[in-house]
Structure formats: structure tokens, C-alpha cells
Structure 1
Amino acid sequence: MTTRPELRGTFGAVSSTHWLASAAGMATLEAGGNAFDAAAATGFVLQVVEPHLNGPAGDVPILLFEAASGRTRVICGQGPMPAAATPKAFADLGLSRIPGSGLLPATVPGAFGAWLKLLEQHGTLRLAQVLKYAVGCAADGYPVLPKAAEAIGVLAELFRDLWPESGRTYLVAGAPPRPGSRLRNPALAETFRRVLKEAEAAGAGREQQIRAGHRAFYSGFVAAAVDAHLRTEVLDATGRRHRGLLTGDDLARWVPATEDTVSRSYRGLEVHKPGPWSQGPVFLQQLALLEGFDLAAMGLDSADHLHTVIECAKLAYADREAWYGDPDFTDVPLATLLSERYAADRRRLVGDQASGRLRPGAPDGRTPRIPSLDRADPPQGPYWQGQLYDGLPTVVPPVLAATEARGDTCCLTVTDRHGNMVAATPSGGWLKSSPVVPGLGFPLGTRGQMAWLEEGHPNSLAPGKRPRTTLSPTLVVRDGRAALAFGTPGGDQQDQWTLGFFLARTDFGLGLQQAVESLAFHSEHVPSSFVPRTHRPLGVRIEHRRTEEAAAGLACRGHDLVTVPDWSLGKVCAVGVEPDDGLLCAAASPRGGQAYAIAR
């Protein structure tokens, strides 16, 4: 039994972390758009209705399969660090790490430009046809999610007293909105409308208008407002006021890149991920390690199965920490990391007992390096100051501080009757990250917090360099055709929660909705990518649905288990194509009570 039916159809399928976004995606398909048009419409709506998790100035990797060419590509919506962002610039401010919120960690906004790039290169509809759903949600209002209302409630004092533009955007008559109540964002609606007005004034051509929309955002009125905002001083996670390093010139120089994916075969499937500027290849490394085990013989969710997956995750994530970074700036030994020989050598490290050591490998004989994990205490102050210090989007009320699962974002997947498919994980620019830019209705993203100030590491800070992101959608190809697209919110945990879903589907034969609802768990072995970089070397979080036998078996192997409430880890969303009859299918996790799938 599942909590929801697995949806199947022949026309199209959409699944995302919000029902309004999924509805916009399907409406776009119904209006004659393809999967790429629908994905952009879905992504723009997510920027409005999940403001605690993403926004137009955030970031997004977009994986796409184009049926006409048979190619799988990734559009990189991860903006780089500003030209002024150097280790010395932060040292001059007395900082030994990049703060998790405020103006200093702001990168070039990537999400808006990436969706425009997808629409220009692969879509069929005009920008106005795709953006109208987001404009409607911002202008007419949307029901506030309980988590968003909760976050605004915790941060209300900050918004009223120190981030007044955020107060004007998210507070209602000076108070937090009630969960489920209607919230409007007229400034964001006007920003979208002005982009459309300038786009349509540029000429009649579809692509011409999309390019003009990009100019309005990255070298026009949006960039000018961002530039002026960054010249002011605002309170940030350090407990002090700072100006930003980002400028309008940084925005004007940037265009989103379309790149080859990184891929690896597994059980006859071709699995595609973004490059090592994301954590995406860690999913492939886990598959390479697990291919040497007969997971099906162990039994789904048995102690043997869970232990094996957890120990392989530790090894793959340790390599992420040591070797991943922007390949435009560092030589990432990706071919070796994904090779059969390297996987076989690493697989020998998986023993009967849990390892508490962080064990990166030495590909091609190189010496691995992991920066120092010294932890600074958060500045003293009101409760919201500690929440600001934590770079994750999650805002935790005091009553839940000890038990709340951390890490969240958005995801969407779309497929159409033509065989096109998209998977994306929008994030960044959340309401806690930075003050709302006056007149624009959205804050900046703070992905810069993920870069190290310690020089010489693949993910060390440098001007124009992309900080390594945790965002990691997945797209699977079978026999030259798109077969499956999926993703989940969850920060560092994304490639553990989606791995559990994928293995449930491929190794244990579960249906799509069954796999989405399968037991979720993750290791806390590696340092978090977000400030303050916490980790528990033997820690494992697992949903309460695990069997007592499995829990006892993991404990005997040395794992430090924390049992969390059922349906609390991740929100996997997926679409796929059935291999036997070509039916399109969609599934959405019941976790969080907001993800929604549609198929016709």
C-alpha cells in the first residue's frame, strides 16, 4: 500500500515540491508547451510559493534530455563568486570563514538566467506564456506553507527591526502570516512584469524577447537595484554589519553555461548528474561501489543492506570533500574517481563495522586534502541570531531545536509525450539568506558560504569561481531514451535520499510511488557543506519505520542511530516512462504534505 496512487498517462507528467508549481507545469503542457516550457513555468512558480527555500536570485542545476537529438545536457544555474571575493578580502574583515547569511556570501544570481536559457534553447512558448503563473501567484497571493510561516515567525524581530525590506515583504501588518493564509508579493510581481515589458519592447521574436529579459535582469534595472543594495551595510551571521562584494558588473558578465553531464552505467541504465561543481558525481561514486554487492539478496531495509549503503556513502562523500570543485579552476580527477578499478579498491574498505574515520582516496596517487573543521561559536544575541548563523535554509523554532531535520530546498521533474525530460533542484535566495533587495521582492543567494577560505583546496574561494553546491538532480536514460528523472530537497542528504529511492526502484523492483515512499535514512559522517559545517562521524538518522531488528543490527555494527519521525526525511519527486508500454508516470513524496504529482 502507498499513501498516494502512482499516476500514469500518455500526455505528460509533472512532479514538484509544491502543488501550485506542479499545476503550472501541467497547465503549460496543456497550453501546447513541451517539457522544457513546463519545467520553466514550474520553476518560476516555486520561486514565489516556496520563498523560505528558493528565489529568483538563487541557483539551480537543470538536467535535460532532448528527444530530438538524443542528448542529455545540464544547464548550470550556479552563479560564480564576485570579482572582489578573495581570501584576503575576508581576512581584512577579520573573518576566517564565509558567513552563512547576509551580503558577503552572495553569488551572482543563477536561477533566473538558467530558466531563461532552458526556455530559449529548448522551449517553444514565449516568456510571457511561461512566466504568467508566477506573476499571478505573486500578485494575487498564495497560501503560506506552515514551514514558511514558522520561519517568518522566528525571524519576525529581525525583519521588523534590522531587515525592513524583508519585513515589508513577508510580514502582514507587522506580524507573521498565519499558516495557510494568503500572502502577496506585489514587488516581485512588478519585477516580473517589468522584465516582460522590456522583453516585449525588444521585438516580436520569441528568442529575441527571452534574451531581452536576460538583459533586463543581469544588466538592466534588476542589476542596478542589486548593485545599490550591496553598497549598504546590513547585519549578517557574524553579528556585525557588512557591505557586499557582489556588483552589477558581476551580473552583467555572467551567462549560464550549457555543459555535458557526468554519467555512469548501473544495472544497464545510464545515470546522468551535474559536474563536480555540484555534489552530483557522489551519487555515481556510490553506485560504482554498490555495484559490487548483491543488495537484493540482503533484503530491502535489512541491517546488511542499510550498513552497506551507509558505508559506501561515507567513502564517496569523503572523496567529495577532498576532490570536488569548479572544474574551470581545478583539476578534478573525475575519470579515476568513477572508474571500475578505483571503485574496487575503495570497496575493500567496507567492513563489518561502521567506520568513524573520514577516508578520502588517493586517485592517480594524489594526496587528498580536507580543510580544517574548527568550529566557531555563533555570536551571542536573540534566538534568531543563532538561526541566522546556521547557513541552511531551515529555520527551527526553539521548541524543535533538538529534533528538527535540517536541510531543505525544492525540486521538480517533467516529461512530455515527445520523450523530453527535465529534472532540476532550485534553491538559494531563501528568505533567511539575505535581506530582500529594495523594490525587487526577493533576497540574494548565499551559496558563497560553501567555499573554503583556506587556499589550495579544490573548493577554495576565488573570484569568478563557482562554489561547490549540494544541488543534485538525476536523469536516467535507457536504450537511448529518457527513462526516469528525480530529485529531492535536502542539502548534503540529497544524494543519499535519492539513492535510497533509486535502489528501491532498480535493485528491489518497487513501483515508482512505492520507491518514493520507501524508508529514508542518511549518514551524518561528512562535514555539512553549510556553515557551521557540523558532522557526526558515526551518526545515522533513520525514520521510525525501520524494523527493530535492523536498528539493533546497525547498533551492533557501531552506528550511532537517531530515530526521527516517519515521513520526515526528504521529499523525492519523480517522473518516468514505463519500459514495456511507454506510459508516462509520476510520483511525489507525502513527506511535508506539499509535494504533488500530476499525469494525464
Structure 2
Amino acid sequence: MKKLLLLAFILLTFNSHGQGLPGLGAGTTPNNRPILHGKNWVAITGKPLAATAGAMVFQQGGNAVDAACAMIAATSTMWDVLSWGGETQALIYNPNTKKVIAINAMGVAPTGATVDFYKSQGMDYPPQFGPLAATTPGTPGGIMTMLAEYGKLSLEQILKPAMDLAKGYPIEAQTANAIETQKARIKEWPYSKKVFLPHLGEKREAPEAGEIFVQEDLYQTLSKLVEAERAALKAGKSRKEAIYAAYDRFYKGDIAKEIVRGTREQGGLFTESDLANWKVKIEEPLHVNYRGVDVYKLQEWTQGPALLQSLNILENFDLRSMGYNSANYINTVYQAMSLAFADRDFYYGDPAFVKSPMKGLLSKDYAKARAKLIGDVNDPSITAGDPYPFQGETNPYLDLLKKNQEAVAELNPSEINSTVDQKFLNDFQSGTTSVQSADAEGWVVSVTPSGGWIPAVIAGNTGVGLSQRMQSFVLDKNLNPYNLPEPGKRPRVTLTPSMAMKDGKPYLAFSVQGGDSQDQNLLQFLINVVDFDMNVQEAVEAANFNSYQMQSSFGDHEIKPGAITLREDTPDWVRKDLLKRGYVMDFWTKTSGPITAIWIDWKHGGTFWGGASNYGDDYGIAW
């Protein structure tokens, strides 16, 4: 009788944690943070104050797009590893059309930004920092386009929280200490020094945690956008036309002129035409079906399709039977990611310039062929495959592909450096933030804005910190012939919001911070939900692993075959097994990555379950 009671208690406990009855490993540890339950709306992002901005907009009658725009604006103002001169990319489910659409607000390489130019500067890659690292600003255009096309409120209402923050807010320790740590580089740029170092000449020149941090130039820039909207409305323009009037002032008016002047003064390449000719693109996302779930990602100017490729490969394996985070599971998922990311490193780039073979890369037959390469031990010689035959074409870069494969095959195992030091990790996991929102009308939004993180060059007297995304280009066509810099071209970025549909309805919105690690964490999150029946909060907190067997998109663009980060509570028997399989391990206290996610509960009328991992400052509010 006691055994039956105990079994009943265990089953009830598992069931209380999950969306259904969790599989083995799920629900066994209490969540560090509570699940957010909401009937009307949910807003989640990288900073608590920014989540409050989303809630404020919802309370004014805004929809999930309005709230997402307010959160992007707030996080950009708070320098949550991004600024107003960075880039924004989003997936939006439109309940009116019942389709997922993609927002491409990635800036482009400016005039003069060519392979020859950067090589003439003695560079192997475009730089990590400074004015020559900057693409044209994308986030303002992204916010205003999303708002004009899909929102309900005015730009003034959306910008109000960010403007209040710009007038002064108590700065957080993380940001304040990042400024102090990077102050030597910040001093190289006069406008950055003016904004970031209010105590110049003192022992601590950055603000202290809790000090009111004022950005008057940024406040004036945002005020000009509101002025442009007001003037257009007064002249009889529609809400949408008024928002685009503000858009034009940023990219074609006095704001654009000051951005160009200030950037060029500090050695940058922007021209007024670069800003005026840039446009936000509204695109069709890519998607695959994984075990009955349709998963959507942005196109191949991001790394997002690598997650889709990984899912196609892993669909050929029974992951659940392997056991959550067993050595067999880790080895299989690790190599699946290695195969997908090897293709990312060679084939992905801006499709407006060179069309990548995405039909072949995302075909199920190609995935089956790649899956056959996964063995019982890790293969450090994994390289890109040839997807062209799977779309009925011949590879135009077959000579480069073969050269890469031969170079890796000839590599002496003793020459492989799998040591992961702090600089490599900082480069590999260069941050961003994430935004998720959903509402009772049916709008669902997932955003991964980024760029302009500290230390950032501020463009003149605008308060706008410039992107560092040029560093994601390569200068050697042997590495990736699709991702070479050209004026007007978007670099292949790591930024990768995610959305999933099931039975024709929104199912999940999810994204994460963390550079090249993003689609690794998101892949494991999705597997946690789909294959291991975890609820959304369990899934964002669960122990992930990070692979470094892919080319870093930042810094020196290194690759570390076999290197893997595991959570420190990984059992000894798993560690020993992985060691035999050729892995070089290190261990962290938390490995989930700062994932944010929303799950829609259709069993109970489409209510929301929000999750924000216990990894960082990510925070959510629901109602």
C-alpha cells in the first residue's frame, strides 16, 4: 500500500510540473523561477525594467507587437548588450493571416567596405570594435516598421518608456561594471567617453551600480522621432504614414546627417546614401517539420537554418530512448550540430547577393545522408557537405569545398587545439538580448535584437551606439564564398529568434542570448519540450551543453573540435564515457543559456506559459 501511495505521489508531482506527463528526467528538480501564467498577455525580455516597459504598453491597449517594440527600445536604451545603432530581427505570427512572417532589420556594409579595403588595413577579418566594425543602424527601422505594419499604438507611446530611461535610470551593476572594465577603449572615441564616463579622472570613471545614468543626446534623438510623428499627424497623415515620417527623419533627415558626420569623424565609412538607401525587409521565414511541430527561423543571412538542419538530422534518431543528457544523447546531438554548423560556416550569407543552396540544405534526404556520418565517437574532421545534388544542381564552389575537406583530412590530431580560454569564450558567446511577447488577440512575437554592445562607438551627438557586426564577415573565400563583405550586403549573423506551430496554431516562441551558442541552446530547449515533455520553465532551466566545434563568428573565428561545456552536476559515468568518445570537457554551474520562451496552452483556451531561465537577468510579466 505504501508503495502505491508513493507511486501516486510521484505521478502527481510530475504531472503538476509539466504540460503533460513528463518523460524521465523532466520535473525531477523544482524550477528556480516560477512559470508565468497569463490569460491576456505576456512580456519577457533581458532586463526587468524593459519587461515593465512591455507591460506598460499592454496596459495602454497595445498588442504583442507594440509591447515587443517597447521592450526593444528599452533594452537598447539600457545597453543590454545592444544599442540603438544595432540590428533587429523578428518572427511575428499574424492572427489575421494565420502566417508567420520575418522582419529583417539587419544593417548593411557601408560604402567602401570591401575585402580589399580590410586587407589593405592589414586585417585578417573586419575588426571586433570601432567605427570600421559598424554596419548601418537597423534597430530604429525595425521598430518603426514592425509598429507601423502590425502594431496599434503610436510611436510616441512606444518610445515613452525608453525616453524616460534616457532621461535617467538607476544603472545596473552588470552594465556599470562593463563600462568600467572597457573604459580604456571607450576613451578612444570622444562621443562614447562623454556618455559612458561621467566621472572622468576619478578612480572609477564609470557610473556606480544604482547611480542615475543620463543619456541626454539619445533622449533628444528619440524626441526628434516623436516630433516627426506629431507633425505628420497634425498635417493629416495616417498613423502608419506618421510613423514612417519618423523613419525618414532617422534615415534621411537631420538624425542621419549627424550619424554620418559623427561616424566619419571617428574613422567610419558611412555615407548619407548608405542610410537613405537601406530598407527593412519583410520576408518569408524558412521552416521544417520536426515530429509534428513546424519550426520557423529566419533566412540564411542568420545562423537560424542550422537549427532546422539539426532537427532534420536528429529526426533520424530516437532521442527519448537514449535518455536525457546521457553520453549517447550528447554525442549524437553534438555531432548533428557539428554537421549543420559546418554547412553554416561554408554556405550561409546574404541571399540578396549570392543565393545559398537552402532547398538542398533543408531537404530530409540530405539530412539522412548527413545523419549516417554520426558515429559512436566524435569526429573532429566534420566539414561541410554538398547539398546541391539534393536540389538538382551542381555546386559552383566544389573546388573550394574539396580543398576544405582535404585540408581537414590532412590535419594532424596533435595540431588540433581544443583549449577553451576566456577570450575565446567571450568572442564565441558575444551577447545580445531576447524579446518574447504574446496576446489574447493571437499575436505572437519573438525577437533577437543586438549590436552596439559595450564598448561601442557612439555616432556623434545622437547617443546612438554603433553595431559591431561587420566582424561576422570573412575575408577569405575559402572559408565561405557566400559571406564576403560588399557595400550594401548583410553579414551572416548569429541572431536567431524562433517560433513553432502545431496543428496550425502558435505553439512556442523562443530565443536566447549568446552568439554562436544561440541555436545550440535553442535546439536543446526545443528537444526538451518535444522529446522529453518538459514544461516551458523546466526546458529553459535544464542542463544544456555547448559545443565549440564550429567556426566562431567573432574575434579570430577559431574552431575547437571536440570541446564541450557541461553543467557541473554531470555524473562521473557520463564524463568518463564522453572522454572515451574524444571530448575535451569543461564545466559550468549553469549551462542553459538565458533562454526566454512562451508556450501557448490550447487545452485551456490559449492561455500563456512564460519561461525565463535562471541564467541571467531575463525577466517576464504576464496578466
TM-score (norm 1): 0.90
Q: Distance in 2 between matches of 1:225 and 1:306?
A: 51
Name 1:210's counterpart in structure 2.
243
Q: Distance in 1 between matches of 2:404 and 2:333?
A: 27
Alignment equivalent of 2:552, drawn from 520, 524, 528: 528
**Do the aligned residues in 1 keep the contact of 2:81 with 2:450 (CA within 8 Å)?**
yes
**Do the aligned residues in 2 keep the contact of 1:142 with 1:184 (CA within 8 Å)?**
no
- 1:402 Cα deviation (Å)? 8.7
| 2:318 is the alignment partner of 1:271 | no
Q: Distance in 2 between matches of 1:17 and 1:91?
A: 37
Name 1:42's counterpart in structure 2.
71
Alignment equivalent of 1:442, drawn from 425, 443, 464: 464
| 2:37 is the alignment partner of 1:8 | yes
| 2:52 is the alignment partner of 1:23 | yes
- 1:340 Cα deviation (Å)? 1.1
Name 1:598's counterpart in structure 2.
621
Helix, strand or coil at the partner of 2:449:
coil
| 2:438 is the alignment partner of 1:415 | yes
Name 2:25's counterpart in structure 1.
none
Name 2:259's counterpart in structure 1.
226
Q: Distance in 2 between matches of 1:181 and 1:402?
A: 32
Q: Look up the equivalent residue of 1:580 and give its one-letter code.
A: K
Q: Distance in 2 between matches of 1:419 and 1:80?
A: 32
Q: Look up the equivalent residue of 1:462 and give its one-letter code.
A: E
Alignment equivalent of 1:578, drawn from 584, 601, 604: 601
Name 1:183's counterpart in structure 2.
213
Q: Distance in 1 between matches of 2:454 and 2:333?
A: 35
Name 2:196's counterpart in structure 1.
170
Q: Distance in 2 between matches of 1:546 and 1:176?
A: 39
Helix, strand or coil at the partner of 1:54:
coil
Helix, strand or coil at the partner of 1:137:
helix
Q: Give CA-to-partner distance per residue, 1:315-361, whole Å, 9 cap, x none.
A: 00000011111111112111111111100000000000011113110
Name 2:121's counterpart in structure 1.
93
Residue pairs, 1:133-144, within 5 angstroms = 133-144=161-172
Q: Give CA-to-partner distance per residue, 1:286-332, whole Å, 9 cap, x none.
A: 00001011111111111111111111000000000111111111121
Q: Distance in 1 between matches of 2:80 and 2:33?
A: 26
**Do the aligned residues in 2 keep the contact of 1:230 with 1:247 (CA within 8 Å)?**
no
Helix, strand or coil at the partner of 1:309:
helix
C-alpha spacing 1:192/1:372, structure 2 compared with 1 (3 Å):
farther
C-alpha spacing 1:194/1:372, structure 2 compared with 1 (3 Å):
farther
What value does the CA root-mean-square deviation take over the aligned residues?
A: 1.9
Q: Which has the larger radius of gyration?
A: 2
Q: Distance in 2 between matches of 1:461 and 1:105?
A: 11
Q: Distance in 2 between matches of 1:454 and 1:276?
A: 19
Specify which structure has the higher proportion of helix: 2
Helix, strand or coil at the partner of 1:328:
coil
Q: Unmatched 5+ residue regions in structure 2?
A: 1-29, 390-394, 406-420
| 2:480 is the alignment partner of 1:453 | no
| 2:341 is the alignment partner of 1:311 | no
Matched residue count: 560
C-alpha spacing 1:152/1:140, structure 2 compared with 1 (3 Å):
closer
Q: Distance in 2 between matches of 1:292 and 1:401?
A: 36
- 1:446 Cα deviation (Å)? 1.8
Q: Give CA-to-partner distance per residue, 1:469-509, whole Å, 9 cap, x none.
A: 10001011112221110000010110001111111111000
Q: Look up the equivalent residue of 1:340 and give its one-letter code.
A: K
**Do the aligned residues in 1 keep the contact of 2:170 with 2:209 (CA within 8 Å)?**
no
Name 2:411's counterpart in structure 1.
none
- 1:159 Cα deviation (Å)? 2.8
Residue pairs, 1:360-371, within 5 angstroms = 360-365=384-389, 366=395, 367=398, 369=400
Helix, strand or coil at the partner of 1:25:
helix
Helix, strand or coil at the partner of 1:580:
helix
Q: Distance in 2 between matches of 1:462 and 1:416?
A: 40
- 1:150 Cα deviation (Å)? 2.4
Helix, strand or coil at the partner of 2:52:
helix
Helix, strand or coil at the partner of 2:282:
strand
**Do the aligned residues in 1 keep the contact of 2:264 with 2:270 (CA within 8 Å)?**
no
Q: Distance in 2 between matches of 1:99 and 1:66?
A: 38
- 1:5 Cα deviation (Å)? 1.1
- 1:164 Cα deviation (Å)? 2.7
- 1:512 Cα deviation (Å)? 0.6
Helix, strand or coil at the partner of 2:311:
helix
